[in-house]
Amino acid sequence: MAPRRYDPERRQRIIDAAIRVVGGKGLAGLSHRSVAAEADVPLGSTTYHFKTLDELMVAALRQANEGFAEMVAARGALEDPRVDLAGELAGLMGAWLAGERTGVELEYELYLAALRRPALRPVAAAWVQGLVEPLARRTDPVTARALVALVDGICLQVLLTGGTYDETYAREVLSRLIGGNGNGTGG
C-alpha cells in the first residue's frame, strides 16, 4: 500500500472544483463524483472533507460571497458620510456586474439554492447582514435591509434578462429609497 500523500491544499482544491462544476453544469451537476473528477482527487477525498453535498455547497457559497465582500471592503466608502451612498452602491453593483458574469451568476445560483437547502440559509443570511450592517450605520436598519433587497433585485434582473446594467437608473432608485439626496442622511 502506498503511503498517503500530504496534500494540504486538497480541501481548497475541492471547493474550487465545486465552484467550477456549478458554474459549468449548475447545481444539478454537483455531486461528490463530479467534484472529485474536476479536482482530480479520489472520490473519498471529497467525502472525507465534506460529508454531505450541503457541506460542500456551504463552503462554496462562503467562498463565492467573499468576492463581493472583498470588493466592498476594498472600496471602503460605504461608511464614509462624505460619500454619496446611492452613487457608491450603484458603483459597487456596476463593478461587480462588470466582472466575470459567470462568477456573479454562480454566486446568485448558490445564494438562491438556500430556498431549497436549509443548510445554506445561514450563509445567505450572513451575506445579507454583512451588507446591511454598514448601510444601517448610514441610514437605519429598515432602510438598510430595503437597500440590500433592491441591490439583489437589480442584479437579478440584469442577470435573468441578459440586460445591461444601468448605473444611472440604479443610483436614481437607490437615492429615492435612501430619501432623495443619496448621501445616506435621509434628508
- Distances 70 to 5, 66, 128, 159 between C-alpha atoms, Å: 33, 6, 14, 21
> Hey, what's the torsion of the CAs at 180, 182, 185, 186, to 10 degrees?
20
pLDDT at 182: 45
Domain boundaries, the chain: 1-51, 61-178
pLDDT at 168: 97
Residue 63: closest CA among 97, 19, 112, 20 = 19
pLDDT at 110: 81
Domain 61-178 class, CATH top level: mainly alpha
pLDDT at 185: 47
- Distances 53 to 27, 39, 157 between C-alpha atoms, Å: 10, 15, 28
Distance CA 114, CA 132 (A): 19
pLDDT digits (tens, 9 = 90+) for 145-164: 999 999 999 999 999 998 89
Contacts of 59 (CB under 8 A, 6+ apart): 15, 18, 50
Q: Cell 439554492, residue?
A: 113
Q: Which CATH number fits domain 1-51: 2.130.10.10, 1.10.10.60, 3.40.50.150, 3.40.50.970?
A: 1.10.10.60
Distance CA 83, CA 102 (A): 30
Q: Taking the model in full, what pTM does it have?
A: 0.80
Which positions of the chain have pLDDT values less than 50? 1-3, 181-183, 185-187
pLDDT digits (tens, 9 = 90+) for 41-74: 999 999 999 999 999 989 988 888 787 777 887 8
